[in-house]
């Protein structure tokens, strides 16, 4: 049996078990991938202050994110095509997150539908929304999320246009995979994945096919999607969605202090400092690099979360020290899912929790709510302007 001790172990195993086009979809950035790499490398420059001879009994990681109690300040990020990393992937990840006591966020571009996930979970999950030109479709999506008892809406604003992702283009990314010779040869080396997919009916975009007007199969879906991302998206649309939703609203894709102020003015409950995992604007700042200025700009007026580059519990606590109220993990849980299904997502969360708890202890703290810049070595972390 493979011994899994860190997120990298899950990544290596996922790469062996997941078809190339879907592994590359999860583990790649846009253009030269400089921002994708900076998301992780910028964390490594931040150093801790180790403390000793303090009481470390009864440590707690319990917190809240967007008003929801969480076992640790970590949520599963919305990731497209999760159900292509492993059969029924969104359902498995949602169940693992629920059992662990952390939020799961379902993507608009998921394979399993909102209704699929709701039918296999007992507690509310979060739903991530892209704004499409077809406002009636958006209205129906919001109503479906309400009917599924989703407790927060995560509105992503940084995908009006699609970043150039070279690996996806080369691989001819599609769900399900097109039966080309190259794909068939690669799939022949992934028997576990293939057997799982044969056992499920969920192989396309469950929130869209059969729900969007005139989209009934993959060919019509491709045409619809290419025309639907809204280039005219504005903060007025955000205000409309806030009113239409009526519940907790979290805005994702914020990398600029001025845009953070707009989130406050639009009435959002939280924002996520995020560069879409380095998959949109290559050459942008890392998420951890952008975090301090955004925290400074909005103070306590809105809850600040972040994602991008987190590969360990140590990365989590660094983000918390720089002002994040919570973080989201995308690739780490996808590695776990691709490697070992639901058990792999649980193992990912166990690793993050253990590393977060031990690092907090080494820094001399017992309560994650007390984490701040005092645990970091001065000069090693990004400063606000």
SS3 of 131-188: CECCHHHHHHHHHHHHHCCCCEEEEECCCCCCCCCHHHHHHCCCCCCCCCHHHHHHHC
**C-alpha–C-alpha distance, residues 338 and 345, integer Å:** 9
244 carries a ligand binding annotation: no
347 carries a ligand binding annotation: no
Residue 136 has pLDDT above 60, yes or no: yes
309 carries a ligand binding annotation: yes
CATH class of 7-371: alpha beta
Confidence of residue 384 (pLDDT cuts 50, 70, 90): low
166 carries a ligand binding annotation: no
189 carries a ligand binding annotation: no
Confidence of residue 295 (pLDDT cuts 50, 70, 90): very high
Residue reference for tokens 């303090």: 54
**C-alpha–C-alpha distance, residues 378 and 241, integer Å:** 41
373 carries a ligand binding annotation: no
Confidence of residue 223 (pLDDT cuts 50, 70, 90): low
Cα 272 to chain centroid, rounded: 10
Strand partners, 70: 63
Does residue 68 sit in helix, strand or coil?
Answer: strand
Tokens coding 181: 């010779």
Rounded (10°) angle between helices 331-362 and 89-100: 20
Active site residues: 276
**Averaged over 22-39, what is the pLDDT?**
97
Confidence of residue 370 (pLDDT cuts 50, 70, 90): very high
Does residue 326 sit in helix, strand or coil?
Answer: strand
156 carries a ligand binding annotation: yes
**C-alpha–C-alpha distance, residues 10 and 75, integer Å:** 18
Strand partners, 63: 70
Residue 382 has pLDDT above 90, yes or no: no
3-state helix, strand, coil in the chain (%, to 5): 45, 10, 40
**C-alpha–C-alpha distance, residues 65 and 269, integer Å:** 10
Closest CA to 251 of 155, 329, 150, 160: 155
Domain boundaries in the chain?
A: 7-371
């Amino acid at each position: 049996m493979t011994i899994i001790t860190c997120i990298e172990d899950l990544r290596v195993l996922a790469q062996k078990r997941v078809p190339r086009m879907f592994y590359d979809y999860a583990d790649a950035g846009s253009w030269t991938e400089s921002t994708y790499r900076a998301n992780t490398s910028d964390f490594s420059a931040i150093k801790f202050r180790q403390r000793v001879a303090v009481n470390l009994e009864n440590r707690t990681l319990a917190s809240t994110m967007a008003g929801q109690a969480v076992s640790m300040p970590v949520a599963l990020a919305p990731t497209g095509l999760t159900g292509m990393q492993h059969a029924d992937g969104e359902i498995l990840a949602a169940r693992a997150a629920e059992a662990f006591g952390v939020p799961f966020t379902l993507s608009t571009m998921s394979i399993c539908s909102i209704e699929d996930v709701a039918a296999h979970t007992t507690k509310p999950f979060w739903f991530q929304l892209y704004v499409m030109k077809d406002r009636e479709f958006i209205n129906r999506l919001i109503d479906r999320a309400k009917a599924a008892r989703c407790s927060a809406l995560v509105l992503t604003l940084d995908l009006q246009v699609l970043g150039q992702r070279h690996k996806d283009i080369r691989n001819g990314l599609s769900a399900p995979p097109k039966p080309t010779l190259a794909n068939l040869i690669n799939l022949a080396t992934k028997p576990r994945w293939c057997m799982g997919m044969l056992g499920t009916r969920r192989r396309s975009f469950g929130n869209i096919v059969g729900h969007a007007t005139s989209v009934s199969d993959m060919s019509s879906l491709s045409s619809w999607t290419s025309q639907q991302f809204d280039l005219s998206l504005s903060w007025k649309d955000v205000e409309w969605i806030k009113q239409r939703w009526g519940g907790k609203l979290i805005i994702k894709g914020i990398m600029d202090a001025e845009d953070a102020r707009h989130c406050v003015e639009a009435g959002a409950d939280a924002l996520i400092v995020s560069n879409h995992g380095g998959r949109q604007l290559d050459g942008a700042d890392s998420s951890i690099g952008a975090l301090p200025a955004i925290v400074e700009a909005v103070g306590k007026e809105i809850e600040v979360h972040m994602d991008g580059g987190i590969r360990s519990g140590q990365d989590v606590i660094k983000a918390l020290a720089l002002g994040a109220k919570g973080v989201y993990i995308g690739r780490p849980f996808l590695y776990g899912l691709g490697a070992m299904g639901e058990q792999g997502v649980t193992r990912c969360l166990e690793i993050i929790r253990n590393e977060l708890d031990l690092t907090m202890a080494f820094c001399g703290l017992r309560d994650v709510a007390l984490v701040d810049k005092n645990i970091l070595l001065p000069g090693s972390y990004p400063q606000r302007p």
